[in-house]
Amino acid sequence: MAVYYMLLDAELFFGRLSPALAASWQTRSFDPCRALCAELAPAVRAFSERFHTGPEEPLVYSVPRGLPFDRRFWQLLVGELLLYGATEIPEIQTAPETLCSILAPASYRHELRARARFAPIQQAHFGTRELLFGARCYRPEHAGYNDVSDVARLSEYLAAQTPERWTVADLAELRDVADDEERREELEIAREWYPALRALYQRASACRHLIVAEIL
């Protein structure tokens, strides 16, 4: 499972991006998004040059030139606006199942999938809220976000955990592991990767950014 995180300025997200996408879906037109797409063009060029994204033209370029509305294009545009509007796209490794089995065994045991019932460690990995733009949900069950208050709360939660106290016994119910040797390896990975997740939330909280989490 690959989870990608995008840190976004709350003013940009709630003040510009979310209203534009909601209006676009409601009116079945890209007109509400054209100005925002044009403003993000420099960020798109910088991203393309840095990561060598190839010859395919992003929708962010096509929308200001009058691209007709299409439901599939709308969803793709959401992904692009989140990506190019992000202030940071950290590359971190995560172990959501292992950490859930340690920190929220009841949630792990019952495989809770409803976002409203996520334990804090699941919220940190996958988001507390659905990405709703008006009445339209972007990639339900695959994308979510934590707003500024969620980020602050989860930053405190992650900082309060004590990885040095985790034990192999905490992974007794971890699925797809054969024995304690494999559990010990999973425990070492969780301890190694956990600080990056904690630091991600600390940075976002300090900057009052929200965090979008998307499973790809």
pLDDT digit string, tens, across residues 155-201: 999 999 999 999 999 999 999 998 999 999 999 999 999 999 999 99
Query: 3-state DSSP call for residue 93?
Result: coil
pLDDT at residue number 110? 82
Three-class HEC string of 162-212: CHHHCCHHHHCCCCCCCCHHHHHHHHHHHHHHHHHHHHHHHHHHHHCEEEE
Confidence (pTM):
0.93
Domain, as residue range, for 148: 3-215
Give the integer Cα–Cα distance in Å for 201 and 214: 16
Enclosing H/E stretch for 5: strand 3-9
Give the integer Cα–Cα distance in Å for 210 and 134: 18
pLDDT at residue number 52? 61
pLDDT at residue number 197? 98
Looking at the structure of the chain, the number of domains it has is: 1
Give the integer Cα–Cα distance in Å for 12 and 71: 23
**Residue 5 contacts residue 92 (beta carbons within 8 Å):** yes
With pLDDT > 90 as the criterion, what percentage of the chain qualifies?
Answer: 84
pLDDT at residue number 1? 72
pLDDT at residue number 53? 67
Distances (CA, A) of 171 to 112, 120, 141, 177, 194: 18, 18, 25, 9, 15
Residue 95 clears pLDDT 70, i.e. is over it: yes
Return the higher-pLDDT residue of 26 and 55: 26
192 closest CA partner among 95, 85, 62, 120? 95
pLDDT at residue number 102? 97
Q: pLDDT band at 112, cuts 50/70/90?
A: low
pLDDT at residue number 214? 97
Give the integer Cα–Cα distance in Å for 51 and 46: 9
